[in-house]
Structure 1
């Protein structure tokens, strides 16, 4: 049977790719998405709970963004604009200013290139132990990484606030203490020098309150070894700066959690076997042209993690991989596992340097390697609880050698999620096909709310009810609404 995204539209693969390209154009347009033109009352439909409610043209409480989220979006928009500039232009601007700016100015420079030093190296338990003993975190928005322990040495790239690095050498040059660091990002493993002035030893020093994650009752709840045996997860998906990418971008955090809890209650009412736990699913790393990745800022991510924690809500951080090695793609999201309500995800669809021309993939061995890296990080850093790793699939070609995938990476909990939009019969057919991968028993299922009739904006028609979703075989343990 053809995958539902092709079959439901009755189109060729070439046409499917063309539509996918159009979808990508909308998906990556994070900048300015909050200023889209208003739709007519008939089109301006907001998903409420598990159904679609048509607006009557009047302003609905909670639909407009709150002032705090607007400020976050403005700050993030500025960051995204800088991230998507041509690398050559950014490097040239950085070099021209090199001789005239102080170390303090360098540490806060936002308009500079991403780090590109070094290559990939295999992570092992011994190196992770060293990392744990000497780890520090970047404390400013952008900090230059240099070739030597001098402010006038060449810039290799930069690190962002919250990035985790390992100190391998320390020297004092005049009044400044410099760290030689090793760090891992989507490019792989790298080394360079940074000023120690702009680092902290404890990541909690970067939070709105250093004691926010010290609720013992909440921590016990989030890290229970039977959390996913006892609960079905109901998640809302998207990016805070994009209304088109999902429901997350159409509401303030407070409004989002209120709606999410109501949706969870609907599932709880018909779910006889398990309780329900709500979650927010953030697209942390969004693919850009040529496979570049634009990531959310640390402060924006933490604003969701903190709010979710206070309300008993999980958070998933999804990386779309792009041109990068998928095993390296999770390097920047691993440190967020230090917070008890955080889980990770990757999206094979966007593992490509031609995101407008082809659908990406990962291999079974790559999924195993990602799980292994995640397990090693958790073990070395003594991170408690089970942590899920989600991957999406709607085409057979998205997972090569799926039979090679293992789930023997405890405490990592692998989730095989059925993605894609369309009518119920097509979605069910795709889920049934994915269910044949019995070596990955824990399944997920994604639904798409109606948002707009504009070309390239997709949705399920009709949206499946909670009863229909729970009747799937196998019943999904993770249910995502986009």
Structure 2
């Protein structure tokens, strides 16, 4: 049934009242945590609020595309659209791949906290959750030992990112640039991390070189079949392990990067975000978002801001949070590189 009964909601709220030691109630419904942060299985999705927030996310869109019709309701504990995620992106081995690896951890995390406050001020109605978006498989120009033009980060580095995120109650996104490999090969290798409720996933079509080109020479692609494989895999983990929904990020800034988008399947266990990943001046970025994200609706949208590349040419400024929030639909995932 699409609606959770009032009885279940009442019981969940009553449980919150009775548990005096419990200290956190998430906007997604009712998710109760005690002082040791142990999640209890007392949850209820506030469906009326969910519908209201999805309509608000459409931000007055007149095309009829947003909010997406006939999308399944998420499982209780869903992060979106009850919150906005603000993420720092990069790799710990590189100062050039994003802000996550550019600064010492404490400096980086302080900057992220400051950025989150900016977004909270820009939209006081939507709580902000910080995130570390870590490229754990990087595409390579060199074929490497495995011949797949990618480099898998050691688990010790992923562990460090997860440990950093814990100090600031941040989410973690593990991002894949598969090169000549496939999501079918790479995703299962990360299962022990994806079993953690705070760890989510991203894939980057730009570096999926199905036609055999060296990464960086041309823009790659993923099909709906690839995206559906990942969604099904994540949904299986969520169901088997009684976890809240996973957020699944797909980067995009050209039409060819995601083919057959209408065949992408949604589920209650996965929240799918199409993230506008292109860089440039404000007008170029707005146009890319309009034609390749808003015009081909899937479920949720994201928007990437580049501290350096966005100010290289044309107007020497980044889009402001106010300008990003004015987009139709309004992005619920914000990423900084």
TM bucket, shorter chain: 0.7 to 0.9
Cα pair distance change 1:376/1:224, threshold 3 Å:
closer
Matches within 5 A, 1:26-65: none
Deviations 1:28-76 (A, max 9, x none): xxxxxxxxxxxxxxxxxxxxxxxxxxxxxxxxxxxxxxxxxxxxxxxxx
Question: How high is the TM-score relative to the length of structure 2?
Answer: 0.72
CA distance in 2, matches of 1:344, 1:309: 17
Which one has a larger percent strand, Structure 1 or Structure 2? 1
Q: Say whether 1:478 aligns with 2:298.
A: no
- Partner residue in 2 for 1:217: 37
- Partner residue in 1 for 2:251: 392
The alignment partner of 1:277 has SS state of strand
- Partner residue in 1 for 2:226: 366
Return the match for 1:425 from 279, 283, 293. Answer: 283
Return the match for 1:468 from 298, 323, 327. Answer: 323
CA distance in 2, matches of 1:266, 1:474: 20
Matches within 5 A, 1:36-115: none
> Does the 8 Å CA contact 1:232/1:275 hold for their aligned counterparts?
yes
CA distance in 2, matches of 1:413, 1:323: 27
- Partner residue in 1 for 2:195: 338
> Does the 8 Å CA contact 1:449/1:459 hold for their aligned counterparts?
no
5+ long unaligned stretches in structure 2: 1-33, 41-74
The alignment partner of 2:285 has SS state of helix
> Does the 8 Å CA contact 1:450/1:458 hold for their aligned counterparts?
no
Aligned-pair CA distance for 1:400 = 1.1
> Does the 8 Å CA contact 1:320/1:347 hold for their aligned counterparts?
yes
Cα pair distance change 1:253/1:224, threshold 3 Å:
farther
- Partner residue in 2 for 1:285: 137
- Partner residue in 2 for 1:233: 85
Deviations 1:204-251 (A, max 9, x none): xxxxxxxxxx9743757xx96142222100101111111111101111
Matches within 5 A, 1:124-203: none
CA distance in 2, matches of 1:421, 1:284: 22
> Does the 8 Å CA contact 1:319/1:345 hold for their aligned counterparts?
yes
Cα pair distance change 1:263/1:375, threshold 3 Å:
same
The alignment partner of 1:333 has SS state of helix
The alignment partner of 1:420 has SS state of coil
Deviations 1:143-171 (A, max 9, x none): xxxxxxxxxxxxxxxxxxxxxxxxxxxxx
Cα pair distance change 1:314/1:224, threshold 3 Å:
farther
- Partner residue in 1 for 2:263: 404
CA-based RMSD: 2.5
Question: How high is the TM-score relative to the length of structure 1?
Answer: 0.51
5+ long unaligned stretches in structure 1: 1-213
Cα pair distance change 1:216/1:371, threshold 3 Å:
farther
> Does the 8 Å CA contact 1:421/1:458 hold for their aligned counterparts?
no
CA distance in 2, matches of 1:337, 1:330: 9
Cα pair distance change 1:356/1:451, threshold 3 Å:
closer
Return the match for 2:109 from 228, 253, 257. Answer: 257
CA distance in 2, matches of 1:410, 1:365: 18
CA distance in 2, matches of 1:305, 1:358: 32
How many residue pairs were aligned? 262
- Partner residue in 1 for 2:59: none
CA distance in 1, matches of 2:304, 2:284: 13
Deviations 1:429-479 (A, max 9, x none): 1111111122x12000001002799xxx89984111111111111110100
- Partner residue in 2 for 1:348: 205
- Partner residue in 2 for 1:307: 164
- Partner residue in 1 for 2:181: 324
Deviations 1:333-372 (A, max 9, x none): 2321222211001000000142133211011122112111
CA distance in 2, matches of 1:416, 1:460: 26
> Does the 8 Å CA contact 1:424/1:461 hold for their aligned counterparts?
no
Cα pair distance change 1:278/1:458, threshold 3 Å:
farther
Deviations 1:85-135 (A, max 9, x none): xxxxxxxxxxxxxxxxxxxxxxxxxxxxxxxxxxxxxxxxxxxxxxxxxxx
CA distance in 2, matches of 1:215, 1:305: 20
Aligned-pair CA distance for 1:292 = 2.0
- Partner residue in 1 for 2:238: 378
